[in-house]
Structure 1
Amino acid sequence: MKQTFFLISILIATNLYGQELTKKVGSIEIELIGHQYLRNDDFELTKKKTNKKNRPFEKIYLDSNGIVIKKVTFGKHHNTDLRLTDKIKIYQYNNEQLEEIVLYESDYEKNVYPFSKTELTYGTTGKLTDSTTYSITDNSSHKINFEYDENSNKTKTILYPDYYYERNFDSINRLKSFKQIFENKLRWEWTYAYTEKQRIGTFRTHYNDGEDYTKLEIVSYNEKGNRIEIEEKQVSRDGLNEKTKFFFHPNGLLQKIEKYQSYSNSEEYGLNSFTDIKLKTKINLDDGTIKRINDVIVTK
């Protein structure tokens, strides 16, 4: 009954507003404008790049405090034209607490339709205890539960009783390990060590299929605690290595993200793509708002 009411209400909203769902809202607008360098017939990177018209692949709308209200992405899987709307997410709050996320999708004829709704539930301490996603397309639902330690660190994300993600933290609340458990068996894990300005993660798979492998992730921070570089390198085998660099405005706001690739540990990195970040607002941004904006961009 609850889901039927949701479907009726969401269809009415879609019919009333249609493409108005893509319109600007809030006090802050962010455009993420991506470019990828093309490769030649020998698979070598060239200086030719995509998106010469600088169209955004995503727009993010936030309120004056840097709280996300809406996200709109552009370009679909089988048609990458960035004039075509892909997905729209609407975020709804109750007393500044995220309560509901409604996802819309579009077809290849620019028609927008509701796809799913996610409801979030909080405990007496204000921690998120579960989220339930209701699907419009097949009338199904799925609930995810969350558990925390005594320091309020999220220790478990439970998709099913025998399928969950587990996190462990040290005495100063730094992430020590991150594991995937499937059918009550350890499938893969990250373990972490720290230096003054780096977090070094080691990833190992445990499938026992003869194809298990190891890789490293090195996250570097500047003096303000902002991530400035993430490098993922293969250890036990050759394969794709990736490096991401973050650049900031003088006020600490993210300005640009560059992505580099190499296909063996003996090969130098080449700049594969980059994202320019453009922000439009008429308000002054304090440090807290800037941090929330950066978090929305990086964790999108």
Structure 2
Amino acid sequence: MEPGNETQISEFLLMGFSEEPELQPFFFDLFLCMYLITMLGNVLIILVIIADTHLHTPMYFFLANLSFVDICFTSTTVPKMLVNIQLQSKVITYEGCITQMYFFVLFVGLDNFLLTVMAYDRFMAICHPLHYMVRMNPRLCGLLVLMCWILSVLHSLLESLMVLQLSFCTDVEIPQFFCELNQVIQCACSDTFMNEMVIFFIAVLLGGGPLTGIFFSYSKILSSVRVISSTQGKYKAFSTCASHLSVVCLFYFTSIGVYIGSSASHNAHAGTTASVLYTVVTPMLNPFIYSLRNRDIKEALRRLLRREVIKGHLSWD
């Protein structure tokens, strides 16, 4: 790897979407609506969990953290994309690209780790219900979230520092609407072997490890559910996991699609489509998945709305 980046490049070009001018207003309106829905949905989930004491449990503590990370995750890429569409520009500065890449990797890692912690929480709740509240105490929950942040920050910092050591040619075009790590590395003029090895090793370690943990947790959950005699008991156990399983599948399937698309540079359109699902659609759908399939969240929303209506009547009186 060639040492240092002599700042021979000051900007990148994000080439992710159609060149046709007449489609730009459509893209702007579409992604603005999706971004606002994502923000409103995740903020509402956080407010409901904070406001309702019935939801002050480990499961909803982790869900509130996941919603916060989803807000940050989608805010890393979508606002810049909207600005570029509005200004009819594809430019992002070198510093802006590195910053965007850093936070993108950070929040992807946090999503990954939080989904694993949530799987462990469901494992404890279903397989060890008598010890659940003792083991999953507030201190342990806080430590688990803190560990997720520490690991994600260190991972993102390592990847970003290694990219800073690369040299780039002029007129660098990234076939995405944001600075995705693999695509940025492929644009480098210097040797990227070490970067690719680090990405592969970390993907196996920090990607395969949590996914193995999720599979292990749910294999134990399935074994425990099979011995439950009542149909109602089985349904209750599965219903507590259904939302989380849906989010896990959505997250991992779309993330795999992004990295397959970014590796196959000849199929840039497929990679961009997968990236939209990964960075925009998934964070938007998560609140709906948890609210529509979760009785506790729906009841908490009703209580919150009822409380606000009563307050409104009293203020008018």
TM-score by length of 2: 0.21
Q: Which has the higher contact order (CA 8 A, sep 6+)?
A: 2
Structure number having the greater helix percentage = 2
Structure number having the greater strand percentage = 1
